[in-house]
Amino acid sequence: MPHDAYPDSLIRDILKSVKRIALVGASSNEARPSWIVTKYLLDRGYDVIPVNPGLAGQTLLGKTVYGSLRDIPGAIDMVEIFRNSEAAGPITDEALTLDPLPKVIWMQLSVRNDEAAARAEAKGVTVIMNRCPKIEYGRLSGEIGWQGINSRILSSKKPVLAGKGFQKLTIHRPGT
């Protein structure tokens, strides 16, 4: 699969289908992007499992932190790699030893490892590189709407309202 651009339909299908995400490189520092993405995905209903050997056994945003992917009990739908491109290779290799295999390996913004992607795709795992699931979710749901950002999505659908009449933006809408 080419990795320079991804169809919105692929990203949307991934974000709709995965439920359990192992986030490798999770941080306890609230200023770090990995902490922000972990919180965002948890707030959107995903079961995010933080992975960081330095924090193993601790709790992060109410979730137990694991030292490695192998330590996580149960199946993982997606491995989100919040490490550099060089580290993405060994992390991908570890993910490919899991049984069952994850459906998706997602490498964060500026993270690209074509060799690791080829190994994963050879085993039937979908790979997304140089993208952020938080940004993609926000873009596809319409959450990102401040000036200068064009989500390329227009809709005449009535917005889904959360409690107390507030609009709830989500990619989980009927017909999308």
Q: Could you please state the CATH topology (level 3) that the domain comprising 8-131 is classified under.
A: Rossmann fold (3.40.50)
Separation of CA 176 from chain center:
19
Domain coordinates in residue numbering, the chain: 8-131
- Compare 3 and 114 and report the one with higher pLDDT: 114
Q: What is the pLDDT of residues 13-48, one digit of tens each?
A: 999 999 999 999 999 999 999 999 999 999 999 999
The answer to whether 25 touches 90, Cβ cutoff 8 Å, is no
What integer pLDDT is reported at residue 57 of this predicted model?
96
Q: What is the pLDDT of residues 124-155, one digit of tens each?
A: 999 999 999 999 998 888 776 554 455 555 55
Place of tokens 């060089």: 86
